[in-house]
Amino acid sequence: MNPEKVVFGFFILLALTLNVGFVYGEIDNPAHHRAWEFAAVLVVNLIATVLKLGDRSQMGAVLLATSLVAILQLIAGAVVWTIAAHASADGFTASALSSVVSLAAGAVVANVVSVILLIIETTMMRR
């Protein structure tokens, strides 16, 4: 067993599961979407992206691309959250939360693609 592959797979799956946990719930209900959970999603996705930087294969390039898409979505969500909470006259409204959750849902899609590619890569190595 390769410990590096274990850590790599762990962070890819953790990024997906944390993101799904954040997105799950009523889209505009603040009780279902916490700031600390969103921060954890962003940090774990950043770690997963850094782990993907060393792979020079074609599959590694596609995995990195999926990670970059997820990070872009999550950073956009963080910007929306920050502006709504600190620079908006209305404050952090249900509409702003809906935008953040929608962007995080886009990151879920990128994370799902990443996990599917990891599974494909793993099955191809066995043959």
Task: Summarize pLDDT for 83-97 with one digit per residue, the tens.
Answer: 999 999 999 999 999
Spell out the domain ranges in the chain. Answer: 3-126
Q: For residues 79 and 98, what is the distance between their CA atoms, to the nearest angstrom? A: 14
Task: Summarize pLDDT for 115-127 with one digit per residue, the tens.
Answer: 999 999 888 876 5
Q: For residues 61 and 115, what is the distance between their CA atoms, to the nearest angstrom? A: 14
Q: For residues 33 and 126, what is the distance between their CA atoms, to the nearest angstrom? A: 40
The answer, as to whether pTM is greater than 0.85, is yes
Whether the CB-CB separation of 15 and 48 falls below 8 Å is answered with yes
